[in-house]
Amino acid sequence: MGYDTVIGLEIHVELKTSSKIFCGCKNEFGGEPNTRCCPVCLGMPGTLPVLNKKVLEYTVKAGLAMNCKTAGFSKFDRKNYFYPDMPKAYQVTQHNLPICYDGYVDIVVGHEIKRIGIERIHIEEDAGKLIHSSDGQDSLIDYNRCGVPLIEIVTRPDISSPEEAKIFLETIKTILEYIEVSDCRMQEGSLRADVNLSLKPKGSNTPGVRTEMKNLNSLRAVQRAAQAEAERQARILDAGQEVYQETRRWDDHKGESFVMRGKEESMDYRYFPEPDLPPVCLDENFVRTIKKSMPELPGMRRERYVNQFGIPKYDAELITQNKHIADLFESTTEICGNPKLVSNWIMTEIMKRINETGEMILESINGENFGQTLLLLDKGEITHASAIQVIDVLLETGEEPVKIIERLNLRVQRDETLVEDTITQVINDYPDALNDYISGKEKAFGFFMGKTMAALKGRGDPSQVKRMLAKELQKRMNQ
């Protein structure tokens, strides 16, 4: 029997404010354990929270970027539960009156645009971190992360495949990077997702029983966990059995999930209004100011790239998926002046290197050095192969392209005598190929072309070599 997959995501995002949500401790990943803590974030008796204004601004920014409404009246609540990473034994969150609600995000699935509803975005505080001691007897607690501001983005159950879940998450990540409210470093846990998934018979309107998979911290894990869960539920339903409403934990190494707790054991969080924090009443001015400061979002950039630079929609889509890459595209194009050349290079050589070594290469390459390299290539001063070499060197040494070109002597070789001598030598070295050419095998031309370019150490100007080679071969045929 076929099923429709119904997925909703809850995404936790750490905001990159300077200080924590309710105190002046530094908000930064890592650090010596428990050195970024104060009585407030440690929940010491008698301490009180004061809300970081930036957290509110960032949340509204995220809300606007996701087409949400902003609440005129919003408040904080306590979610009560015991866990050693939560020093107050309650988390300050927003239970029923979130800052932002009722929005949507468009994602590109194949060639279609699909709209995913955003139910709400609310503010909450992050917990500390537990690690296990080497002997496994103890848990060690580091509260540095405690009180780092989070937003939780809750989607409507509009996602209908694990693939879409991954695309959605990528899109959210892109948006958050564009509006610069989070680093979205999934490996550092600054973006984490819970997957709610259920199946229903194809075409049916009756929702199935859903499970919740907690704390997935990579795009791959989200997709794999959703895939595995869809398959698990399908097996259960196929066997005529019941799916239980439960919370599960995904083990990415084993590639399977385990029950954390069932419905009966569901936690009673005893939410109630946080008495230590007055409500938040956003006035229109506040929202308007943020609206004005909003940067261009990926969808808007995509359109602009097509219209302004005339690059294909596909290129624009790919490039705008990462703000840093899109920024690189724009700054490079400004110097080089050939948008299509830039987009081609970004989609091949740059993306290849990002995939191989990660996004940090974007710290070494910029519009200036990349633009200069492509400009020289575009003007025929260096060859394609040399351009690649220049990029590899500048990524390693940070040298300026012109200096690399001079040092490695990469400038295109146009000395007619040298080219002519090289061609003569190559033809003389391969008499069989010459015979092939004379007997009409066109392929041999390419062979000589390659050999000549190689002999010129890739520095020949292909059009010049081609022209002179044709002339020389013609001469030999006539001999």
Where along the sequence are the contacts to other proteins (CB under 8 A)? 17-20, 23-26, 32-39, 42-56, 75, 78, 80-84, 87-90, 130-133, 136-143, 260-261, 267-268, 270, 272-273, 275-281
Distance, in Å, from the CA atom of 407 to the CA atom of 201, rounded to the nearest integer, reads 67
β-pair type (246-251, 211-216): parallel
SS3 category, 102: strand
Q: Are 456 and 419 in contact (CB under 8 A)?
A: yes
Between 246 and 381, name the residue whose CB sits nearer to other proteins. 246
Distance, in Å, from the CA atom of 398 to the CA atom of 280, rounded to the nearest integer, reads 48
Between 85 and 436, name the residue whose CB sits nearer to other proteins. 85
β-bridge mates for residue 100, sequence order: 70, 121
Largest alpha-carbon pair distance within the chain?
A: 102
Element (DSSP H or E) covering residue 471:
helix 462-478
Neighbours of 41 (CB within 10 A): 27
Between 264 and 442, name the residue whose CB sits nearer to other proteins. 264
Q: Are 14 and 190 in contact (CB under 8 A)?
A: yes
Query: For residue 283, which of 63, 72, 54, 61 has the smallest C-alpha distance?
Result: 72
Between 268 and 416, name the residue whose CB sits nearer to other proteins. 268
Between 28 and 436, name the residue whose CB sits nearer to other proteins. 28
The token pair at 283 is 């006035």
SS3 category, 342: helix
* Minimum distance from residue 242 beta carbon to other proteins (Å): 24
* Minimum distance from residue 254 beta carbon to other proteins (Å): 17
Between 240 and 275, name the residue whose CB sits nearer to other proteins. 275
402-411 exposure pattern, b = at least 16 Cβ within 10 A, e = fewer: eebbeeeebe
Between 194 and 461, name the residue whose CB sits nearer to other proteins. 194
* Minimum distance from residue 125 beta carbon to other proteins (Å): 14
Between 35 and 348, name the residue whose CB sits nearer to other proteins. 35
Between 45 and 240, name the residue whose CB sits nearer to other proteins. 45
Q: Are 14 and 150 in contact (CB under 8 A)?
A: yes
Element (DSSP H or E) covering residue 465:
helix 462-478
* Minimum distance from residue 396 beta carbon to other proteins (Å): 35
* Minimum distance from residue 69 beta carbon to other proteins (Å): 19
Q: Are 324 and 359 in contact (CB under 8 A)?
A: yes
Between 133 and 205, name the residue whose CB sits nearer to other proteins. 133
* Minimum distance from residue 100 beta carbon to other proteins (Å): 16
Amino acid at 55: V
The token pair at 202 is 């194809």
* φ, ψ at 11 (rounded to 5°): -115, 125
* Minimum distance from residue 220 beta carbon to other proteins (Å): 25
* Minimum distance from residue 7 beta carbon to other proteins (Å): 24
Distance, in Å, from the CA atom of 140 to the CA atom of 382, rounded to the nearest integer, reads 57
Q: Are 5 and 232 in contact (CB under 8 A)?
A: no
* Minimum distance from residue 53 beta carbon to other proteins (Å): 4
* Minimum distance from residue 307 beta carbon to other proteins (Å): 37
